[in-house]
Amino acid sequence: MFFAFRDAPERRAALRTPQALDRYRLFGLDEVRRGAQVRHNLEREGGPPLWTRATANAVNHLLRLTGGYGGDFASAFASLRTANEADVVFATSDTVGIPLILLKRAGLLRPPLVYAAIGLPERLVELRNGPMRRLYAGAFRRARTIVAYAESEAESLRRWLAPGAPAVLFLPFGVDVAAFSPESGRNEDVDVVSVGADSRRDFDLLKAIAARRPELRFRIVATKEHGRSLGTLPANVTLETDLSLEQVRDRLAAARVVALPVRRNSYSGATTVLLQAMAMAKPVVVSRTDAISEGYGLEDGLNCRLVEPGDAEAFERALLDTLADSRSLGSRARETVEGDFSWKRYTDKLWEILSAAWQHDPS
């Protein structure tokens, strides 16, 4: 099997460290390796060779001119021979998946392709004309299977690709329930902790709540870009940027409540941090985006608090209520994740999908 990853320093670091806590960034590569030979597109140190970058630049430029949407063609070109030696190719993100699906459409990628969509509908909206929309729809119909980590995204793709859509499956993400577990006796020294790196996080909403509640202590863990955009913070807010996952786990453990405000969108629901916090039996207040409203077993007031995106007053009320009585919410959160959203459950299902892709390949 061949895994195609989005190239990022954090992912390369995870690949170099067999016991790293953030091996989840590899989307199940370790577990699949126990049953199959696996290669991937980040085996080359220093990235793709110069010729592939030049070719990729030209292809992406042509796609932009004609109304299309590109991606990491350099990685796709550099690893195409290795990918074609595999029984199945797994594109783990749209950045690498879009080039691969277009190469599949051109007949240059031969094995069956399993495509993981993460925000794909938002990218498809950027296609600027009918011929491009037809080209991409035809390309995606050549995927063996498309998986999405949100039921809303899976349903959107089924509608877009019909008729003739491949199997489009909702695959709930998972969390390592042993690595993220309740820490008895841990001192909870911060009232509210919020963690996130994606662009959909609504830290401005949390900043406004903190300004109105000086008696509470807040901690935001984000990227440097988020930190710069937040500007001057209230005195009761601590900002930390670019922490390791081990440090993030420590910050979650020290929180009385985990707050995950997210702007309205179809694919991002702070899902990874949400599951990590729930596995640690932390009470979570989270925005009810489409990405998590179905399929993750969330029930407002039972195992988390769900608030409509952008509703600062409702989010503040939910935070205050949860801070006043958080124990039962956290314990039921842990039960939900242990029962249905463990990393083993996710990787077992992924193995089934990847195995079925090549076992049913007519070629």
* CA–CA separation, 157 and 117 (whole Å): 9
CA 72 to chain CA centroid, Å, is 18
| Under 8 Å between Cβ of 260 and 282 | no
Separation of alpha carbons 118 and 150, rounded Å = 8
SS3 category, 65: helix
pLDDT per residue as tens digits for the range 155-184: 999 999 999 999 999 999 999 999 999 975
Name the CATH architecture for the domain at 190-340.
Answer: 3-Layer(aba) Sandwich (3.40)
What's residue 361's pLDDT?
Answer: 57
Cross-strand bridge partners of residue 221: 195, 240
CATH topology of domain 2-174+343-359: Rossmann fold (3.40.50)
DSSP 140-196: HTT-SEEEESSHHHHHHHHHHH-SS--EEEE----B-TTTS---TT----EEEEEE-
Instruction: Please give the helix or strand (H or E) that residue 2 lies within, else none.
Output: strand 2-4
Separation in Å, CA 76 to CA 38, 83, 245, 350: 16, 9, 29, 22
CA–CA separation, 166 vs 146, rounded Å?
7
Q: What is the CA radius of gyration of the chain?
A: 21
Beta strands in 207-350 (DSSP E): 218-222, 237-241, 255-260, 284-287, 305-307
Q: What is each CA distance from 27 to 3, 33, 83, 238, in whole angstroms? A: 9, 12, 17, 31
Give the model's pLDDT for residue 185.
56
Q: What are phi and psi of 257, to 5 degrees?
A: -140, 140
- Summarised one tens digit per residue, pLDDT across range 68-109 is 999 999 999 999 999 999 999 999 999 999 999 999 999 999
Residues of the chain with CATH 3.40.50.2000: 190-340
Please tell me the pTM assigned to this model: 0.93
Contact of 5 with 41, CB cutoff 8 Å: yes
Cα separation values, 297 from 19, 260, 269, 285, Å: 29, 17, 13, 15
Share of the chain above pLDDT 70, in %: 98
Residue 197 in this model has a pLDDT that exceeds 60: yes
- Give residue-wise pLDDT tens across range 305-325: 999 999 999 999 999 999 998
